[in-house]
Amino acid sequence: MNPRFRSYSEFLFLALLLALLVAFFGILSEHFWSVATLQTITNRIPSLALTALGMTFVLVAGGIDLSVGSVSAVAGAVFGWAVADHGLGVGVAAMLAVGAGLGCGLLNGALVNTFRMPSFIVTLGLLEGARGLAYLVTNSQTKYLGERLGALQATVPVLGVSAAFVLALVLTAFAHFVLTSTVFGRHTVAVGTNEEAARLVGISPARVRMIVFAASGMLAGLAGLCHVARLGAADPNAGSGLELSAIAAAVIGGTSLMGGRGSMLATFVGVLIIATLEAGLAHLGVTEPMKRVVTGAVIIGAVGAEAVRARIASRRLRLGA
């Protein structure tokens, strides 16, 4: 089967799954099918969507980034520090925040390339280190900012969705274009599929890794700004567990944990599925512990399905050979 056709077929399957999920919760809860619920779902997902896009780039290249939740907290903390403590303008503060995320991503890429360390270990270390940095920057206090991030807090007329959600849509389309229609996208897939073969044809795996980790860090920084905009505060505890949700969204969207395969559009639908699941369970009055159990089961199911798919594909390849 043509890979592009298969990709779009899987996207349509996920869209159908999302529609069935919406129908299921709509039947069980009479208030689920409402404009208010739609706005709530769309306005809560920008942070997850942005980090999931960065995660997809890293996963396709054969790595993993466990630090994105903490990096988003650092970006929010830097923004709060710049605005609340030093009176800097919102534009300058936002650039510093995104720059902090980019710096964390570059650090991840440099450590992975320089010391040939597994990205799992490197980013796990930064998960703790960046969280500690967020506490240091904010003095372990939440910094209340009100409506300082007006541009991202604004809503689109008629639709009622946030500007942050529109930003997430635009960046999803751009990331999809980069991964499917550019030389860098093809290089990313090649490195994730077979790094040694990619090196032999002149592709630099180190360069690809550096760029995807930088992109992941920058998008996590933007996610931190979106979180600050939604809450009106910079919280050093923000983004806790975000890395797991980002991985789940990517895997639900069909991204392989072994590298070489992924779709930005499908990842975005994976984000919508997670957000719809959380909103639907909340409408049904499910407790927070039980929501975690259900979400965890969905993650395990998605990873298990991906493992089965990988085994089937490997078996077919051997039989074809």
DSSP codes, 32-67:
TSSHHHHHHHHHH-HHHHHHHHHHHHHHHTT---TT
**Residues 85-108, buried b or exposed e (16+ Cβ, 10 A)?**
eeebebeebbbbbbebbbbbbbbb
Question: Rounded to an integer, what distance in angstroms lies between the CA atom of residue 67 and that of residue 213?
Answer: 10
User: Is the pTM for the entire model greater than 0.85?
Assistant: yes
Give the list of residues 6+ apart from residue 34 with CB closer than 8 angstroms, or none: none
List the pLDDT tens digit at each of the 321 positions of the chain.
445 545 666 778 888 888 998 899 889 887 888 877 887 788 889 999 999 999 999 999 999 999 999 999 999 999 999 998 888 888 899 999 999 999 999 999 999 999 989 999 999 999 999 999 999 999 999 988 876 666 565 565 556 678 889 899 999 999 999 999 999 999 999 999 999 999 999 999 999 999 999 999 999 999 999 999 888 889 999 998 899 889 989 988 889 888 999 999 999 999 999 999 888 888 888 888 887 788 778 777 777 776 776 677 667 767 665
Q: Quick check: helix, strand or coil at residue 228?
A: helix
- Return the SS3 of 234: strand
Structural domains in the chain (count): 1
Q: Which of 85, 102, 92, 98 is nearest to 136 (CA)?
A: 85
| DSSP symbol at 72 | H
- Domain membership of residue 174 as a residue range: 3-320
CATH number at residue 185: 1.10.3470
DSSP state, residue 155: B
Angle separating helix axes 242-252 and 68-80, nearest 10 degrees: 130
